[in-house]
Chain A
Amino acid sequence: MIQVLQTLAQSGFPDRMHAATLSHFLLVSALMFVIGLIGFLTRRNLIIMFLCTELMFQAAGIALVAFGRYHLDFSGQTFVIFVLTVAAAEAAMALALVVLLFRRRESLNAEEWKELRG
């Protein structure tokens, strides 16, 4: 198990990564982002909508780490730590708001709140 993890993590680490390999990770990241976007647009449950934003964060994280690996620059991973922080803060605030909204209408349907206007 440990050996599998080590070979995984050190798969040719200091060597440069080919752009074709990079594009595999970018494709996965783009697909995950788009799935999150579609979920955000189609689902009407407030909690699932926030879950879909987390999915998009995740996709952005994969792209950042992949670019960081390609350029052998660790700023990408530093930025993912920051993204994690923002996601945690966002989850705390958003879920508090969702609980508040649920108490008012007894429903998680986003369309309950469509009379709100800017």
Chain B
Amino acid sequence: MEQIINPYILYGLCVLGAAGVCLALPRKGLSPQLFGGLLAGAVGGLAILFLGLKNPEHLPNIYFYIFSVVALGGALRVITHPRPVYAALYFVLTVIASAGLFLILSAEFMAFALVIVYAGAILITYLFVIMLATQSPQEDEVEVLMEYDIAAREPFASTVVGFLLLAVLTTMMFKGVGELPAPQVKDPDAILAAMPRRIESTLREEGLMPKGSTLKVDAQTGDAVVDWKHRTVTTIDGGGAPTVVSLPDDLKATNADHLGFNLLRDHPGTIEIAGVILLMAMLGAVVLSRKQVQIDEEAKMRQAHTLSGASFGPDSGTSKGGSL
């Protein structure tokens, strides 16, 4: 069995990383947040380095390290930053770095979709809601952070739970991954046959196909007839005489081609289902946000009672009568 990383090293790093994250979580008063963050970051870096030790010839390229450090650092800052707006901005950083990781995995379309949809749309909505739901300080008072943002709830227990999960997840690093079936290498350009018009227009642009001739296509499927071994196609001129033409080298199937065929030919239902989900979400959001909240007198009394009660500190910031 091929071990990619030694289990003892991995579990040791898990424990150290848990300590780092636990220290990095926000606490009331003086807290060693910076130290914890540095410790967690160093441990994450060590784990990635140890992964590469046994297979030095199969390292990912250098950009992987840059992007993953940025992504994980941003993610850690999302959960430790006491100000929600900054947390959201760090999340944008994480999204952009993971788009870089997608690029390394040659998923260009997904990388750009991620930046447009996540960083461009979803996170802006989050920022709007954060700004709507945070009371701005008056002219003369210093801005106070909300008490519920300053102190983490149960930092120790949740870190233990999280890193137990991490230990289970990473067990496959030295057990399962080595036994994965080897991937079959297919010719990635094979789907070009399903796009005879694209082949034709490329050939015409390159001047390989004279006027009046057509590409030979399969009569039943409409696909172009391509000999992939020699990368040749057959063109038929006006008189019906076939000519064998080799495909230009720069005619390649792109990531968007593959994704489009996979999405619309192999999984034709998904786009419709996605559309229905988005429509439902839009209707739901409209209905929910149009609802007027009427707080009657009794509820107001109860609320005032709760806010002044012992369950929350006097400094909780919740007793301010904000307006929205």
Contacts and interface: CB of A to CB of B under 8 A. Distances in A.
Interface in A23-79: 23-28, 30-39, 41-45, 47-48, 50-52, 54-55, 58, 61-62, 65-66, 68-72, 74-75, 77-78
B91 to A, nearest CB: 6
Interface string B9-29: 000000000000100010000
Interface in A100-118: 100, 102-112
Interface string A70-95: 11101101101110111111111101
A26 B60 contact: no
A10 interface: yes
B91 A96 contact: no
SS class of chain A's interface: helix, strand, loop or mixed? helix
Given A16-B185, A44-B152, 9 more contacts: A19-B178, A20-B177, A43-B152, A47-B130, A51-B78, A55-B79, A92-B125, A96-B284, A104-B295
Nearest to B258: A74
Contact of A32 (B71, B118, B121): B71
Contacts of B113: 81, 84
Rank and list the top 6 A-B pairs by shortest CB-CB distance, nearest first.
Answer: A39-B79, A89-B281, A41-B158, A20-B55, A18-B58, A96-B288
Given A16-B185, A36-B75, A72-B183, A41 B146 contact: no
A39 B98 CA distance: 18
Interface string B280-324: 111011001101010100000001000000000000111011101
A81 B171 CA distance: 28
A85 B259 CA distance: 16
Given A11-B104, A14-B188, A62 B78 contact: no
Contacts of B170: 27, 30
Contact of A105 (B84, B129, B158, B318): B318
A9 interface: yes
SS class of chain B's interface: helix, strand, loop or mixed? helix
Contacts of A32: 71-72, 75, 94, 98
Which of B148, B154, B166 neighbours the largest number of chain A CB atoms within 10 Å of its CB? B148
Interface residues of A, number: 87
B180 A42 contact: no
A30 B293 CA distance: 41
Contacts, number: 312
A89 B149 CA distance: 26
B133 A102 contact: yes
Given A39-B78, A104-B293, A45 B146 contact: yes
B153 to A, nearest CB: 5
B47 interface: yes
A5 interface: yes
A28 B304 CA distance: 46
Which of A69, A93, A106, A110 neighbours the largest number of chain B CB atoms within 10 Å of its CB? A106
B51 A92 contact: no
B87 interface: yes
B252 to A, nearest CB: 9
Interface string B102-123: 1111111110011001100110
A19 B88 contact: no
A31 B189 CA distance: 35
Nearest to B88: A51
A78 B270 CA distance: 9
Contacts of B59: 21, 24
Interface in B261-289: 261-263, 266-267, 270, 274, 277-278, 280-282, 284-285, 288-289
B235 interface: no
A5 B115 CA distance: 15
B227 interface: no
Given A24-B60, A35-B76, A96-B284, A77 B129 contact: no
Nearest to A86: B277
B136 interface: no
A27 B101 CA distance: 13
Which of B51, B105, B130, B157 neighbours the largest number of chain A CB atoms within 10 Å of its CB? B105
B102 A28 contact: no
